[in-house]
Every structure is written in structure tokens, then in C-alpha cells.
């Protein structure tokens, strides 16, 4: 039965391989002085961003607004998710103990009121990089105490979460990426249940949690709704839904381009389930409009 399902998914992907993008999927190119300032600061401090490494479609809008999502722990991921364009390898680059300081200096130089920090997966490190995340939060608070920090972390569980929970970042995000049936697009070491374990532990520690779903991978509407229910059941308060866009010919193709109307329909159902904030649109990604999502949820008294 599993083989037949996989064959069916593969057939759909091949069918849509050359499907033209609809009119609502137009990417804004980087522009303006704010974009140049972000690029300059990142270069001067030797930092990576998920905007570049993952070929995010929102780079133009976010950088044009003077924001960026920093990617720590190097630019080589030890996992091989089939939808992701980040460079992959069995081991990552050597850990840079000065990265937290340089990151904090960049946050201060950009005068950021909200900083999003994510990473590649580092299964080659004893704590998979959790301690480095914590060091980055401490460094930012020492240099820029007014900056709100959001961490987008790997599927840390148990003791791996301890250093992060100790620092109490304002938001912790971790992505389930897709519905249960389609988890095979992720690295085999990842799973829907392991991701739920991560999110549950963070929520139980009293930290607002966020997760994201990429749509257009062949999921059914009922599966999306089931995923939303499971996320809400473990305490996730902010949910993001966006269109999967194939970064390059090396990643799996798009199965379906989901209409803006369908995104709004899912958003309404998510709000009915009790999420404090919902971001749902074709270009939405985990850190897309992250500060706006936080501001909105805070204004409503949900955080």
C-alpha cells in the first residue's frame, strides 16, 4: 500500500514538473538602500542567511524592509530533505565560537527590534548545535537588549532543548513541513511525531511556539486540517502556511499551485482551531512577517 501511494505521488510530481506558475506567484527582486545595508552588514560580519542559502522567494521584500533571517552553525546541512536547496554533507563546517558575537554585532548594526535565527541541521555535533543557539541569544541580549529573538530550531528533544529553554527566547519555531502522509520528503531521521515532541516540550515550558506547513506537495485538504489540529493539540500558538516553490532542478517538483483563496480558507479554519496568529499565503515562510505576527499576537494578549 505504501509503495502504491509513493508511486501515485511521484506520478503527480512528474505531471506537474513543467506546470507554469500562476499569475499570483511573482517574486520581488531585491532593491533599495535597505537591501544594500543588509547585504553589507552580513558580508562584513561573515554571516549566512536562510534567505540566500534556501533561495527564499521573500528575500526582496524582507531585505528591502531591512530584515533578514540569520542562519548559524555553518552553511552545510547534515540532513537531506528533498525540498530544500541548502548544501548538504555528512559533516558540517567547524563550529565558529565567534559567531554569536558577530551575529549580535550585526543585529546591533542593523538596529533590529526583532531577530530570527535558524540553522542547518548538525547531527555531527554532540548537542546538535543547541548550545550554540543559546550562546547566540545571550550575545544578542548583551549587545541589543531590546531585540526580540525568535529561534527556528531543528527537532531537538530531551536534554538537547535544555540550553535553549534556559535562555527563554520570545518565540521558538520548529517546522513539521508537511502532512503526516508526505513526511518522506523530509530526511528519514525526521518525523511528524518527533517534531510534535519538540513543539510540545517548548510549549510546556511556557514559550510561544510556531510551526509551518508547505502546501502544494500533494496533500489533501483533510490532511492539512488534521495537521493543524495536531499542532494546536501540542500547544503551537502561531502557524504559517505557504506554497512550496521548487528552488532548483535538484529538488522535488511542485505537485500543485494552491490558490490564494484556498490559503485564506485554511487560515480561517486555523483561526477557528484557536491559533493566536495565522500567516497563510503563497509566499509565506516561517520567518515571513515574523515581527508582524508577534506584534499582532501580543496586541491580542495571546503571548
Q: How far apart are the first and last CA of the chain?
A: 43
Confidence of residue 27 (pLDDT cuts 50, 70, 90): low
Do residues 97 and 74 touch, judged by C-beta distance below 8 A? no
Specify the pLDDT at position 259: 96
CATH class, 26-299 region: alpha beta
Q: Check pLDDT > 50 for residue 51.
A: no
Specify the pLDDT at position 67: 54
Strands 69-72 and 48-49: antiparallel
For 145-154, what is each residue's pLDDT tens digit?
Answer: 999 899 999 9
Regarding predicted confidence, which is higher, 291 or 87? 87
For 30-48, what is each residue's pLDDT tens digit?
Answer: 445 555 666 666 666 666 5
Helix (H), strand (E) at residue 48 = strand 48-49
CA dist 239 → 235, 242, 275, 281 (Å): 11, 10, 7, 12
Q: Check pLDDT > 50 for residue 55.
A: no
Please give the Cα distance from 192 to 267 (Å, whole number).
21
pTM of the prediction?
A: 0.82
For 124-149, what is each residue's pLDDT tens digit?
Answer: 999 999 999 999 999 999 999 999 89
Residues 6+ apart with CB under 8 A from 82: 185, 186, 251, 252
Write out the E strands in 122-223.
148-152, 171-173, 209-215
Regarding predicted confidence, which is higher, 234 or 40? 234
Specify the pLDDT at position 25: 72
Please give the Cα distance from 282 to 295 (Å, whole number).
21
Residues 6+ apart with CB under 8 A from 199: 174, 176, 209, 211, 231, 234, 235, 236
Amino acid at each position: 500500500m505504501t509503495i502504491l501511494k509513493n508511486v501515485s505521488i511521484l506520478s503527480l510530481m512528474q505531471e506537474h514538473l513543467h506546470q507554469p506558475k500562476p499569475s499570483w506567484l511573482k517574486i520581488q527582486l531585491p532593491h533599495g538602500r535597505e537591501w544594500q545595508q543588509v547585504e553589507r552588514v552580513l558580508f562584513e560580519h561573515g554571516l549566512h542567511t536562510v534567505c540566500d542559502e534556501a533561495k527564499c522567494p521573500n528575500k526582496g521584500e524582507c531585505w528591502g524592509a531591512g530584515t533578514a533571517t540569520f542562519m548559524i552553525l555553518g552553511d552545510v546541512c547534515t540532513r537531506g530533505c528533498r525540498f530544500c536547496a541548502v548544501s548538504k554533507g555528512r559533516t558540517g563546517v567547524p563550529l565558529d565560537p565567534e559567531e554569536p558575537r558577530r551575529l549580535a554585532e550585526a543585529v546591533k548594526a542593523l538596529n533590529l527590534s526583532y531577530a530570527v535565527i535558524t540553522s542547518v541541521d548538525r547531527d555531527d555535533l554532540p548537542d546538535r548545535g543547541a548550545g550554540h543557539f543559546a550562546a547566540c541569544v545571550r550575545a544578542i541580549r548583551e549587545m541589543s537588549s531590546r531585540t526580540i529573538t525568535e529561534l527556528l530550531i531543528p527537532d531537538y528533544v530531551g536534554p538537547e532543548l535544555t540550553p535553549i529553554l534556559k535562555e527563554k527566547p520570545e518565540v521558538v519555531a520548529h517546522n513539521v513541513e508537511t502532512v503526516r502522509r508526505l513526511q518522506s520528503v523530509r530526511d528519514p531521521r525526521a518525523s511528524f511525531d518527533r517534531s510534535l515532541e519538540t513543539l510540545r516540550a517548548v510549549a510546556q515550558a511556557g514559550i510561544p511556539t510556531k510551526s509551518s506547513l508547505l502546501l502544494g506537495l500533494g496533500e489533501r485538504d483533510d490532511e492539512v486540517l488534521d495537521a493543524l489540529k495536531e499542532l494546536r493539540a501540542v500547544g503551537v500558538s502561531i502557524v504559517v502556511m505557504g506554497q512550496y516553490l521548487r528552488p532548483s532542478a535538484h529538488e522535488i517538483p511542485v505537485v500543485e499551485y494552491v490558490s490564494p483563496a484556498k490559503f485564506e480558507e485554511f487560515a480561517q479554519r486555523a483561526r477557528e482551531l484557536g491559533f493566536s496568529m495565522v500567516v497563510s499565503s503563497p509566499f509565506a515562510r516561517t520567518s515571513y512577517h515574523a515581527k508582524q505576527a508577534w506584534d499582532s499576537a501580543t496586541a491580542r494578549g495571546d503571548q
